[in-house]
């Protein structure tokens, strides 16, 4: 059996898989907001941060780990687990002093993680991915490197507020003594993995690429980026490594306390998005995952470290080897909900209107589907832009607007993923809006690729379990074949007759976008 964890924004989840039977044995979660209310973080972070700061208490993650293990040990036979791996919300960082290693090595199963590790924090709270406080630090790092293009070329992304490097720089500037006292900086992923391994373990290439510090070509820390970020940073980071690299046996704390075998080993943890790529069975180029959640994300495996010349997309390491892209679109469900509500529809009616979009009128009316600021492309939109027939622009025919909004969203996605140069062969759709058949069919038509939906609920934690099995020597594609199956009757084929229509619509959309972004 193999155990995968995902330490995400709002919860810690475990997925236990049995490779022999090909089954998921157990899936359990601890919700931070409801189950650990003492941290006063109803959505997993401390509300009310100033200047765009969004922090979480790392002790909450430790307490959740003890709680989850105590529950797991009651429902599952942990003595059969051979390897553990997992993931964490990306970009978040944990700051530890020089007592951390010793405390890890001497963890006493009679006590808990919280009280034994709390004194090792050199920064009480952890900035997480929602933090936008580092605009100034991003500008400083960008200036030091001679421009955003250079940082993107080296690290896979331009300097981004939530990325760890700019966050480390802000800490160094605001609390130089605290920074000085910091002996080791971990990501959420490598922090949890270190606790499990009983010693500090490296950051993996997948999550490491979300720091604005790692060279994609060397798969090591970039000395210029380190120097532009904060002094002596190299001494506070272990060299990054592949997610599947085994770090040794699980800490005696867990084997003695929770009945996990002392021979169970720990591989590295990666970011939640790289782990999801594994859990969604999309680690080979040609496969794309589109997640339609609060925001929409597009992520896909790539053969080489190509970067987005426009600087919107990110490149991370792919836990299966090679690289992956991640592109976020802020106006996802929020825009779909805004239009749905303004037209007075429910999701069923919205779905029907979207399905009607497969008619020959596809692509005729265009909408820039941005109800608020967008990050891909980065622009402060104040509302959607409509161009087409009078019935469309006035809203006299609501169906035309539903069609144009969704077409606009997926044309925008297609346009901003072209830089990858990867032919989309299969799309795996997930997130709250994926169950909407009308939306799914539009995705298939616009990308001209079949769309599948999976049964997996916890794709990141499942990805962690699969990475653990791969680290134990199992063939990843073969086990993905077993655990990442499309749900029955969930697949949709593209209407091939619409290929030309959407090719033309793509260019018309691009022209409209450029015209509206022009100063």
Contact residues for ligand ADP, defined by CB under 6 A: 293-294, 333, 336-337, 347, 431-433, 435-436
Residue 450 CB, nearest approach to ligand XUL (Å)? 25
Query: Alpha carbon 312 to chain centroid distance?
Result: 15
Q: Which of 89, 122, 194, 200 binds ligand XUL (CB under 6 A)?
A: 89
Q: Are 413 and 461 in contact (CB under 8 A)?
A: no
Is residue 272 near ligand XUL by the rule CB under 6 A? Answer: yes
Backbone angles phi, psi at 17, to 5 degrees: -110, 150
Residue 110 CB, nearest approach to ligand XUL (Å)? 35
Report the first-to-last Cα separation within the chain, whole angstroms: 58
Pairing label, strands 314-317, 323-329 = antiparallel
- Please give the residue whose beta carbon sits closest to ligand XUL in the complex: 90
286 or 432: CB nearest ligand ADP: 432
Which segment (246-254, 269-277, 279-287, 506-514) binds ligand XUL by CB under 6 A? 269-277
Is residue 91 near ligand XUL by the rule CB under 6 A? Answer: yes
Is residue 330 near ligand XUL by the rule CB under 6 A? Answer: no
266 or 354: CB nearest ligand ADP: 354
Residue 383 CB, nearest approach to ligand XUL (Å)? 26
Burial 2-16 (b: 16+ CB within 10 A, else e): bbbbbbbbbbbbbbb
Residue 264 CB, nearest approach to ligand XUL (Å)? 27
Is residue 329 near ligand XUL by the rule CB under 6 A? Answer: no
Q: Are 301 and 324 in contact (CB under 8 A)?
A: yes
Beta bridge partners of 129: none
The rounded distance, in Å, linking the Cα atoms of 164 and 271 is: 13
94 or 339: CB nearest ligand XUL: 94
Residue 335 CB, nearest approach to ligand ADP (Å)? 10
Residue 284 CB, nearest approach to ligand XUL (Å)? 21
Beta bridge partners of 447: none
With CB cut-offs between 5 and 8 Å by kind, which of ligand XUL, ligand ADP, none does residue 294 bind?
ligand ADP
Q: Computed over its alpha carbons, how large is the radius of gyration of the chain?
A: 23
Across 422-475, the runs of DSSP E, i.e. the strands, are 426-430, 451-453
Scanning the structure block, which residue is given the tokens 């490097």? 165
Q: Are 28 and 68 in contact (CB under 8 A)?
A: yes
148 or 210: CB nearest ligand XUL: 210
**Which of 47, 72, 79, 62 is CA-nearest to residue 113?**
62
Q: What residues make contact with ligand XUL under the rule CB under 6 A?
A: 8-9, 89-91, 129, 162, 210, 271-273, 326
């Amino acid at each position: 059996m193999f155990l995968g964890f995902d330490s995400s924004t709002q919860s810690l989840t475990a997925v236990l898989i049995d490779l022999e039977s090909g089954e998921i044995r157990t899936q359990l979660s601890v919700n931070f907001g409801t189950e650990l209310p003492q941290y006063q973080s109803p959505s997993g972070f401390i509300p009310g941060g100033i200047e765009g700061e969004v922090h979480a208490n790392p002790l909450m993650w430790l307490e959740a780990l003890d709680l989850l293990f105590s529950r797991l040990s009651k429902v599952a036979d942990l003595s059969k687990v051979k390897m553990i791996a997992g993931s964490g919300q990306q970009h978040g960082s944990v700051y530890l002093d020089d007592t951390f290693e010793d405390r890890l090595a001497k963890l006493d199963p009679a006590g808990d993680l919280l009280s034994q590790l709390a004194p090792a924090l050199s920064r009480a709270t952890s900035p997480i991915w929602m933090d936008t406080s580092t605009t100034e630090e991003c500008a400083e790092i960008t200036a030091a490197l001679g421009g955003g293009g250079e940082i993107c070329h080296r690290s896979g992304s331009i300097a981004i507020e939530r990325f760890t490097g700019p966050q480390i720089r802000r800490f160094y500037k605001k609390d130089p003594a605290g920074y000085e006292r910091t002996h080791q900086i971990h990501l959420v992923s490598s922090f949890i993995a270190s606790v499990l391994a009983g010693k500090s373990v490296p950051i993996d290439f997948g999550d490491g690429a979300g720091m604005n510090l790692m060279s994609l070509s060397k798969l090591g820390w970039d000395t210029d980026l380190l120097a532009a970020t904060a002094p002596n940073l190299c001494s506070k980071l272990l060299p990054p490594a592949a997610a599947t690299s085994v770090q040794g046996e699980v800490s005696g704390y867990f084997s003695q306390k929770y009945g996990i075998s002392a021979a169970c080993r720990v591989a590295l943890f990666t970011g939640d998005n790289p782990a999801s790529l594994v859990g969604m069975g999309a680690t080979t180029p040609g496969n794309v995952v589109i997640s339609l959640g609060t925001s929409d994300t597009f992520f896909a495996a790539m053969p080489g470290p190509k970067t987005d010349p426009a600087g919107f997309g990110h490149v991370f390491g792919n836990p299966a080897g090679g690289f992956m892209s991640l592109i976020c679109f802020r106006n996802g469900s929020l825009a779909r909900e805004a239009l749905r509500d303004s037209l007075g529809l429910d999701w069923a009616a919205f779905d029907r209107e979207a399905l009607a979009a497969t008619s020959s009128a596809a692509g005729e009316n265009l909408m820039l589907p941005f109800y608020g600021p967008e990050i891909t492309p980065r622009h402060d939109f104040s509302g959607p832009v409509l161009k087409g027939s009078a019935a469309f622009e006035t809203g006299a025919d609501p169906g035309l607007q539903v069609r144009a909004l969704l077409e606009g969203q997926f044309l925008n996605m297609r346009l901003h993923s072209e830089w990858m140069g990867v032919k989309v062969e299969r799309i795996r759709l997930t997130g709250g809006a994926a169950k909407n058949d009308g939306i799914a069919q539009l995705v298939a038509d616009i990308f001209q690729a079949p769309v599948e939906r999976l049964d997996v609920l916890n794709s990141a934690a499942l990805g962690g379990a699969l990475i653990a099995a791969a680290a134990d020597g199992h063939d990843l594609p073969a086990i993905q074949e077993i655990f990442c199956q499309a749900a029955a009757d969930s697949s949709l084929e593209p209407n091939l007759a619409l290929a030309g229509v959407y090719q033309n619509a793509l260019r018309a959309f691009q022209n409209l976008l450029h015209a509206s972004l022009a100063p």
